[in-house]
Amino acid sequence: MRHSSTPSNSSLFSVEGSDLTDRVHRHLSLEIAEGHLIPGQQLLETALARELGVSRTPVREALRLLVSEGLAMATPEGVAVTDFTVKDVRDLLQTEQVLDGLACRLAVANGTDRQMERLEEIMVQMEIAERDDDISHWRDADRQLHEQIALMADNQPLARFSVQVSTLLGRMRQLSARLPGRPHEANLENRRVVDALKRRDGAEAEQAMQEHVRNVEQAVVGILENFVVPFKGERF
């Protein structure tokens, strides 16, 4: 496991109890979503505790949470990062299509004017990053955009499920983002979503978001079927 460029482990994990478990869990979730912990990789409790500078208890609890969320799986050796099939990815993206569409509809009803302004600011950041060919910042802004819509929806169960699905799909989004021309296409699709939200047009925003996720599905599955599966097999 790589060492993160974020603040030192001692500052990240210098808390006790459930807060510490939560921080370890969020750290490992991000490492999986970003592809730093790869599918099938064993998550060794003792090694992780040593690297993060914590006891084994919060690591054990964090691993249990990862398994319950589908980010990790129980193996004869312990716990490993979950691997996927193409069908798994399709299923997740179809689920995201419904969740994100609903979030748009609720955001129209519940989002404040200031939240709408923030949404536009994030959309502009995405457009600037794409223009500058800055994939890292573009991906970060894309994540923020979807998180902002979920925030505006003001529905905690929906937000929780959306984060879980989005985290599971994290490394797949990296594939789509690096497809030539895809960030530009995604910006056009997201711009349609944002403009509909600003007009408080829930039906249009929901439809635009669902079309966007369908296009993501097409791009990701195409990459998996043509480039990933032939080299890595049915599970990746």
All CATH 1.10.10.10 domain ranges in the chain, comma separated: 9-81
Rg of the chain, C-alpha, whole Å: 19
Whether residue 216 contacts residue 186, with contact meaning beta carbons closer than 8 Å, is answered with yes
Please list the alpha-helical segments (H only) found in the chain: 9-12, 17-33, 45-52, 56-69, 86-110, 113-131, 135-153, 156-168, 170-177, 182-198, 202-223, 229-232
**Conformational region of residue 201, where left means phi above 0, alpha means psi within -120 to 50, and beta covers everything else:** beta
Question: Which pLDDT score is estimated for 198?
Answer: 98
Q: Indicate where the chain has its CATH 1.20.120.530 domain(s).
A: 86-232
Tokens standing for 86? Answer: 């193409």
φ and ψ at residue 72, rounded to 5 degrees: -135, 165
pLDDT one digit per residue (tens) for the chain, 236 residues = 443 434 445 445 555 556 999 999 999 999 998 889 999 999 999 999 999 999 999 999 999 999 999 999 999 999 999 999 999 999 999 999 999 999 999 999 999 999 999 999 999 999 999 999 999 999 999 999 999 999 999 999 999 999 889 989 988 888 888 899 999 999 999 999 999 999 999 999 999 999 999 999 999 999 999 999 998 899 98
CA-closest candidate to residue 33, choices 119, 181, 142: 142
pLDDT of 18: 67
For residue 2, what pLDDT is reported? 42
pLDDT value for 69: 94
pLDDT at 236: 87
**CATH number of 9-81, picked from 1.10.420.10, 1.10.10.10, 1.20.120.530, 3.40.50.2300:** 1.10.10.10
- Predicted TM-score (pTM) of the model is 0.85
Supply the pLDDT for residue 173: 83
CATH superfamily of 86-232: GntR ligand-binding domain-like (1.20.120.530)
State the DSSP string of 78-121: EEEE----HHHHHHHHHHHHHHHHHHHHHHHHH--HHHHHHHHH
Sign of dihedral through CA atoms 184, 186, 188, 194? Answer: negative
- In whole angstroms, give the CA distance from residue 163 to residue 102: 14
Specify the pLDDT at position 92: 96
